[in-house]
Structure 1
């Protein structure tokens, strides 16, 4: 054989390459498709475009299904296809072209013998390439050539020669490259000209529907949810799905196996380690093993884990090679989840002591870069709790333990923190977690220890503004839970002083911090009876930044504002704010804080005033389920007030008195809570025929213009002390901010007093005013409690016309009033949302909760939340009652 030049004898091309090695027929035949091969029409249709473009590239990772896809497509064509599977030896130019010419001859391509074949393994004569291109250009139709595993060809010379032939063949050749990497051809030219068809990794990935069909071919029939989970875990990787299916076939419970299989101990691991990891040089293998502990990583972070520089070109190369390294941009990367899982297991096996250190290095690097969630995750994985807690506190993110979408995740993360963590930050986190659960004693113990540690550090000249500001926040919360308005005010002043020592951009990043401070401060002011001052700070929260981290705080502040409106006699305003306060928490989207349930409580109190007693009970039940009594002073006192009112309306005065005395552990007594407790006790005494005792319990209640003065006056009048009642009303005269509920009760007191004094005309005029003021808010309860003499006046013209349609009194002014919802046609207190109507419709079809969830593509818990809301809005407690009430209201 000549050392250089071309051998013009075409017969040699059929027997041996320039090295004298015989041609292996298996390299020129497409692989056979297995019986379980799934033809995917969307990819086949895309590949059909290869017949219209000179170049096609099927570029994907190992096991992505590239080769079988192209082989199946080629088998379906009614034309010859030249197939060549490249090998490492083909990186020599002469060898490559000898094999490609043999592939053409095997296909029966009508090429003249004059083309010749390479005689030198390392080079090919340019004339041969020109003759081949000319012959191809003269064909009657394009010749289809598939080069499989083209990533093994790395010589730029071969890429240049191939591009020369492809270009000069004109329309006589269609080249399909099946590769793991981007070939060295000038792809940009083909892309600009629209002359390339590309199928990449993302398109090669199996969809859930395709995965289900593939599993069916293996005799595995899984629920849709299980199939979706498997696709998510494998990212639709063809080889992973096939290997999982083959392994599952050998088990007694394939569904459980596919759900719980350990990737590190499976054929998937063997495949990835052999096909991907072990193909890399030793430094690259070490890099991949180390970054496997990360969800995502930058080259600089990879350098920090390896202890050497130069990761950037390595990672970029791995991405180009489709070596299961995904480029997320800017310039973040991540590993394929199965590959990462297998690498982590391999790392633990090879270097079990290294993983915690890698997490610690990652946490330190990420902490400097400001990536807090990842810092916390890696710090916890390293078991370095002082570092982890320090990162949370230094970032001023301790408020996220109380509010926001990450609250439960953070609580779960720090649950593993042991006593070995002794820093001030660790104690602050412990205090926050305890106070979040309203565990006051434990929380205060940790908080005082943190404050002492910070004070010792300050004496040593080490200032920690973030730690001290976090202490102030927790002090305000502790003061709220302990009913200490003075303590809350002092902590709030301290926090205000410390704000100037913290960078403004850090404060802007965490709007929940100031919102928490103001919410807790507003709650303590409300407890102290300073309603206007409470409204000021709570309104600042509601009107503050609309960040996701402040959603719960805005809703909690709205609930407190609703209670303030209710106490001031504005039931309509209270109802609107309370409903707005339910927000995302009622829909089950966010976890509720310890002071929650207040919105339901205010709505219950309004329902009692409207004599909608079943509705009130349902709302109180929801409040109790949302937040047990005794955890938050304002919420507890509010629930006691509403419960007592409901029991009085039901004619159970003793039970009402007991409910009103629900103890609240507080350092300072709440004036409005004390007043309503005394009013309930007075009503109980009066119901049992003890007017003197009823009057006596009212003696110590201050009446200096307080909103409850109208009810105090009514209680005095009911006990037979007309002058005392009128004196109390005089103290209320001119008081600003009181609403229609107070005006109605004031008018009723004066009307009854006038009637008892024989001035019926004045009584009737006052009753008319009361009816007009009450009608807008449907305030029925005050009239039902007004006594038989007043109720008889209400039945006479023209007062009866003012009451018509909304106020129903017991016949003849006698007897105990009942629930108005049982006496008048049912009303929808609040419009049902679209989703609630969807749930109600399916409820009427006798569908179970699980069936409704599946039909609406919701979680079961979300459906349960919607059902509770439907029951509350329809004032029912059971499914059948909800359907019946909905039909009465023509909602179905």
Structure 2
């Protein structure tokens, strides 16, 4: 509500401007709201509480929307409001009270003429006048509402003291609303403690995404919800920033893109902040703001290191109190409003070219000395001080975070600008880590050699001892990964042994802060041991990591170890345990996302191998495809993972009846320093299977003669089968008997070994023993649904399976989902004549009742026949029975 202009009557009333100047009516008028104003009910509802508390403070930064909020509330209040907009030129308490009395008079509040007397002068106030005013207000039936806008311009302590006197003694007769950028010098703590104060602060004044979308719409801009949220996040809901952005976007051909990418350092937003915030500060404070603009957060000591000012702390606290876009993070730490920071950095580059890198360098060294590693790294990189950045990473034992953890990609990007001019052990270690992460082995190994040379020249003084130990421990970690990727188990053992000694030379707090260091060391060691065929030793290292509690820094190593443990279980014939671990590893692979770890996809590959053993060939191919998508891609692949890929792929090709395609995929696509005995054996076994398929049994046996020993029980069982087919009966039986007697082997091994013994008995003319052995194999295979060995066991075993004594053991599970190497699915018992008749009518889509009527039998008899058909065909539904019968040639 606009105040009446009583300037002509002011002197007669006794409270005219003490300088004799006319009152400016604009200072007493409630400001008008623009057409684009957005009414925010959540704030006006809060402001309604101002009528119930003596004091209300709306405290926010320049352009936060304080004045318009209170003006909108006052205009809709339905009663007179005394409004005074303060100005910087007001001279002392006398001038202030003259304007207050005029505002009250304009709202119909003052008593008759001459009741108070005059304030006294521009800088003095008659205390009796204040007492009379308070007394008059305290006797009112309805309180006067006084709004003092821009109250932060009133800096005289006596003015605040006098205002508190009037407010206190006016009692319920006055409702005072202060609109300010800073907290006034009133005893606010007393009002807060007595619940006698309403507060709306900067955070509450910030626009929500919905309110911002409404504001933009009023400017003719309609953005998707995501774009509005992004703009609010960048501006932190700052009202003036949103309005100025909207006005500028109206002039753009693509407003949505403009609002997403506008440069805050140029244009109206920058002009506003530089004038309203920076321009109001003294030169020393402006310099402080410019220098700390390079920081994401800062405290007094860090600010002092950038400015050289010992009074940085008080200056920062003052800026925060002034709502000068300096936000208090607690514990004497602050940050700049994002847009304000952008603008200041642009202004810094224009005002002091070349200073920004030096500020980053100072910040990096201060932060490194105080253990703030992520910030030190960022500022070191921004300064181009790569020795500092790399040294920070290595000294903190954080080199592993270039390889795993949620910040791996960010760290890699941070060091992407590392140029050849930087030198030193830490720099070479970072280069080596990046090379290993990208599977660039040639360059990675060269950088490891350079790092070792630098460390050899490092002084072993007490001042550098801990740092050198951290660098050597980092080197050991990278050595273990290099050993794994190059297939060098001895090198991995040496690296981990060196790391164990160095752990005692670095602070325990560093080791505790970096669980990924030990996890990565044991993961790479375990993988190298698997490659070498040292499965028991590998299991010990891998289990230690797999049993770690969930942690973002160790999640990828745990997944990798689970995949390796699943492979060890599979090669030992324990399909159930291999499947459980592989499923856990595969689930982790899918959930982790981001950078692929060396063993990524190993869980899917083990599951593919298990699926082949179960004759689930379509699923096996899908898992192989999934593993290819989740793996590290081009470069130097992980040897164990590629060997497992070769194993599963070759087995699938053989199961599909395509031996010519099996041989090329059986050899792992890796270049290693040491060959893997079990990977080499798998390649030889695939070659032998191809030769057996061609009928070249002698050549198949000769291929196996080139294998040094039998690495692993699964390889041994399959080798025994090949040798039996090649006529080496005694040698095959010796191996099979030994495997069956070994309690450590699982069904994937013992079933194959038992089938070798059954085939040998059948070939020797002892069908009774063969059936007993076959029954034992069926019982053992049923739990794991291990079908493939029976399909590969030859026609003699197939004929025995068709015999009635064994069909009960095979019923319900011994049927593959795939074509089974060209053979039809096994049928463990022939259908009776009546069952064939029922089956034929099933194929004609007849119901149970229709079949019963057609065959002149009861419905229950038909149901009994159907149960028998389902059991013999290994299915559970009509449609599956018809499909299986067609595959078998029964229809």
TM-score, structure 2 normalization: 0.89
Q: Is the alpha carbon distance of 1:657 and 1:674 closer, same or farther for their aligned partners in structure 2, counting shifts above 3 Å?
A: same
Partner of 2:616: 612
User: Residues of 1 paired with 2:563 and 2:598: CA distance?
Assistant: 13
Partner of 1:307: 308
Partner of 1:408: 409
User: Residues of 1 paired with 2:766 and 2:628: CA distance?
Assistant: 47
User: What are the equivalent positions in structure 2 for 1:579-658 lying under 5 Å apart?
Assistant: 579-627=583-631, 628=633, 631-658=637-664
Deviations 1:385-442 (A, max 9, x none): 1111111111110010110001101111111000010111111111111111221111
C-alpha displacement of 1:759? 1.7
Question: Secondary structure of 1:109's partner?
Answer: coil
User: What are the equivalent positions in structure 2 for 1:209-248 lying under 5 Å apart?
Assistant: 209-248=210-249
User: Residues of 1 paired with 2:470 and 2:776: CA distance?
Assistant: 57
User: Residues of 1 paired with 2:439 and 2:472: CA distance?
Assistant: 21
User: Residues of 2 paired with 1:813 and 1:318: CA distance?
Assistant: 78
C-alpha displacement of 1:308? 2.1
User: What are the equivalent positions in structure 2 for 1:467-506 lying under 5 Å apart?
Assistant: 467-506=471-510
User: Residues of 2 paired with 1:190 and 1:526: CA distance?
Assistant: 72
Partner of 2:164: 163
Partner of 2:571: 567
Q: Is the alpha carbon distance of 1:375 and 1:815 closer, same or farther for their aligned partners in structure 2, counting shifts above 3 Å?
A: closer
Question: Secondary structure of 1:263's partner?
Answer: coil
User: Residues of 2 paired with 1:814 and 1:428: CA distance?
Assistant: 51
Equivalent in 714, 721, 729 of residue 728 of structure 2: 721
Partner of 2:37: 37
Question: Secondary structure of 1:587's partner?
Answer: helix
C-alpha displacement of 1:486? 1.1
User: Residues of 2 paired with 1:127 and 1:692: CA distance?
Assistant: 123
Deviations 1:594-637 (A, max 9, x none): 33211111011011111111111111112122223751111111
The 8 Å contact of residues 792 and 812 in structure 1, kept in 2 or not, is answered as no
Equivalent in 508, 512, 520 of residue 508 of structure 1: 512
Structure number, greater radius of gyration: 2
C-alpha displacement of 1:545? 5.1
Q: Is the alpha carbon distance of 1:306 and 1:688 closer, same or farther for their aligned partners in structure 2, counting shifts above 3 Å?
A: same
The 8 Å contact of residues 60 and 179 in structure 1, kept in 2 or not, is answered as yes
C-alpha displacement of 1:724? 2.2
Q: Which moved more, 1:508-517 or 1:233-242?
A: 508-517
Deviations 1:762-806 (A, max 9, x none): 212211221121111111111111112212221222321221111
How many residues matched?
A: 812
Partner of 1:322: 323
Partner of 1:746: 753
Equivalent in 762, 780, 786 of residue 779 of structure 1: 786
User: What are the equivalent positions in structure 2 for 1:419-568 lying under 5 Å apart?
Assistant: 419-458=420-459, 463=465, 464-544=468-548, 546-568=550-572
Q: Which moved more, 1:535-544 or 1:204-213?
A: 535-544
Question: Secondary structure of 2:505's partner?
Answer: coil
User: Residues of 2 paired with 1:383 and 1:704: CA distance?
Assistant: 52
Partner of 1:386: 387
2:289 pairs with 1:288: yes
User: Residues of 2 paired with 1:596 and 1:168: CA distance?
Assistant: 75
User: Residues of 1 paired with 2:669 and 2:600: CA distance?
Assistant: 18
The 8 Å contact of residues 386 and 422 in structure 1, kept in 2 or not, is answered as yes
Q: Which moved more, 1:36-45 or 1:659-668?
A: 659-668
C-alpha displacement of 1:588? 4.7
Partner of 2:118: 117
The 8 Å contact of residues 704 and 732 in structure 1, kept in 2 or not, is answered as no
C-alpha displacement of 1:65? 0.4
The 8 Å contact of residues 398 and 470 in structure 1, kept in 2 or not, is answered as yes
Q: Is the alpha carbon distance of 1:213 and 1:705 closer, same or farther for their aligned partners in structure 2, counting shifts above 3 Å?
A: closer
Runs of at least 5 residues in structure 1 that lack an aligned partner in the other structure: 1-8, 821-892
Q: Which moved more, 1:451-460 or 1:638-647?
A: 451-460
Runs of at least 5 residues in structure 2 that lack an aligned partner in the other structure: 1-8, 828-891
User: Residues of 2 paired with 1:584 and 1:725: CA distance?
Assistant: 41
User: Residues of 2 paired with 1:659 and 1:153: CA distance?
Assistant: 83
Question: Secondary structure of 1:549's partner?
Answer: coil
Partner of 1:671: 677
The 8 Å contact of residues 717 and 749 in structure 1, kept in 2 or not, is answered as yes
The 8 Å contact of residues 81 and 145 in structure 2, kept in 1 or not, is answered as yes
Deviations 1:507-542 (A, max 9, x none): 111111111111111111111100000000011111
2:194 pairs with 1:193: yes
Q: Which moved more, 1:157-166 or 1:554-563?
A: 157-166
Q: Is the alpha carbon distance of 1:227 and 1:812 closer, same or farther for their aligned partners in structure 2, counting shifts above 3 Å?
A: closer
User: What are the equivalent positions in structure 2 for 1:10-409 lying under 5 Å apart?
Assistant: 11-13=11-13, 16-90=16-90, 92-113=92-113, 114-409=115-410
User: Residues of 2 paired with 1:634 and 1:23: CA distance?
Assistant: 88
C-alpha displacement of 1:364? 0.2
Q: Which moved more, 1:614-623 or 1:271-280?
A: 614-623
Question: Secondary structure of 2:553's partner?
Answer: helix
User: Residues of 2 paired with 1:813 and 1:159: CA distance?
Assistant: 93
Deviations 1:269-324 (A, max 9, x none): 00000000010010100000000000111111000000121111111111111000
TM-score, structure 1 normalization: 0.89
C-alpha displacement of 1:491? 1.5
Question: Secondary structure of 2:417's partner?
Answer: coil
The 8 Å contact of residues 747 and 770 in structure 1, kept in 2 or not, is answered as yes
C-alpha displacement of 1:707? 3.9
Q: Is the alpha carbon distance of 1:10 and 1:669 closer, same or farther for their aligned partners in structure 2, counting shifts above 3 Å?
A: closer
User: Residues of 2 paired with 1:814 and 1:504: CA distance?
Assistant: 58
User: Residues of 1 paired with 2:436 and 2:557: CA distance?
Assistant: 16
Question: Secondary structure of 1:322's partner?
Answer: coil
The 8 Å contact of residues 604 and 615 in structure 1, kept in 2 or not, is answered as yes
C-alpha displacement of 1:11? 4.3
Q: Is the alpha carbon distance of 1:399 and 1:809 closer, same or farther for their aligned partners in structure 2, counting shifts above 3 Å?
A: closer
Partner of 1:872: none
The 8 Å contact of residues 63 and 239 in structure 1, kept in 2 or not, is answered as yes
Q: Is the alpha carbon distance of 1:819 and 1:304 closer, same or farther for their aligned partners in structure 2, counting shifts above 3 Å?
A: farther
Question: Secondary structure of 2:19's partner?
Answer: coil
Partner of 2:698: 692
C-alpha displacement of 1:812? 14
Partner of 1:755: 762
2:799 pairs with 1:799: no
The 8 Å contact of residues 589 and 600 in structure 2, kept in 1 or not, is answered as no
Q: Is the alpha carbon distance of 1:374 and 1:812 closer, same or farther for their aligned partners in structure 2, counting shifts above 3 Å?
A: closer
Q: Is the alpha carbon distance of 1:653 and 1:428 closer, same or farther for their aligned partners in structure 2, counting shifts above 3 Å?
A: same
User: Residues of 1 paired with 2:779 and 2:63: CA distance?
Assistant: 79
Question: Secondary structure of 1:117's partner?
Answer: coil
The 8 Å contact of residues 572 and 712 in structure 2, kept in 1 or not, is answered as no
Partner of 1:883: none
Question: Secondary structure of 1:651's partner?
Answer: coil
Q: Is the alpha carbon distance of 1:327 and 1:396 closer, same or farther for their aligned partners in structure 2, counting shifts above 3 Å?
A: same
